[in-house]
Amino acid sequence: MAKKAKKKKPGRTAGTAKGGDGTAKGIHQRRQHRAAAVKQEVAEEILALEAIYGEDFALHEDGIGFALHIVPHPGALEDNYCSVQLHVRYSADYPAAALQLHIRDADGLLLDEARRLTQQLSESAAQHAKQEAVCVFDLVDECQDFLREHNDLAEERAAAARLSHMEGGSTGDDVADGDGSGDSSGTAPQSLWHAMQERLAAAEAQAEEAQGGALVGLLGDDAWAFDGGLFADEGGWHVLPICGGN
């Protein structure tokens, strides 16, 4: 009787039981390696930010996020008329997953401007995540560029607000406050030039009124008027009787 041939056991191929690249163990090892590399990149980003921005940088208590005060011109503080606090949270899968971003204390920006900045930074973070690229410094630069573009408008609004405060009025600007809330019912802000023209016109009107009252007081019951130009013919002056006068 012929012996039955024994079936051969399938041999191990690369990536099966002993932890090759395709096994669960291999995948886990790669993830651990990647996580360690990302953790190192995050640590280096945080150290660099702290070294560059000093007191303007504040690390969150849990160590996986930070707040950064950003101005248009870091080297010329007197030229800054807008600023923001950029809050960043690192996701577990960063840089493959986008950073969590939040804008607070948008000083000098209108509410709509603060919202556009937040949207712009979030879209940029999403694009970097698709490329699995670290992006904190890129986002900080982008935020600074946005503030520089709006710094002149912020200066105009600040000057108009000071002028209005001196006159006891209100500019009605829809300015972002705190975490980006504001009064959306405000009117569009005037330019500083228009505000100055209105102020000058009001001052001239008050001066003319005061001058007219002084003349009446000096001339008694008769108010004097002048017909013609500065060199009018003789007789250009005449008397206008005040009500109740003779």
Is the Cα torsion angle 87, 93, 94, 97 positive or negative in sign? Answer: negative
- pLDDT (0 to 100) of residue 25: 75
For the chain, which ranges sit under pLDDT 50?
14-19, 171-172, 180-190, 215-246
Distances (CA, A) of 164 to 111, 158, 192: 20, 10, 11
- pLDDT (0 to 100) of residue 197: 59
Domains defined for the chain, CATH in brackets: 30-167 (3.10.110.10), 209-246 (no CATH)
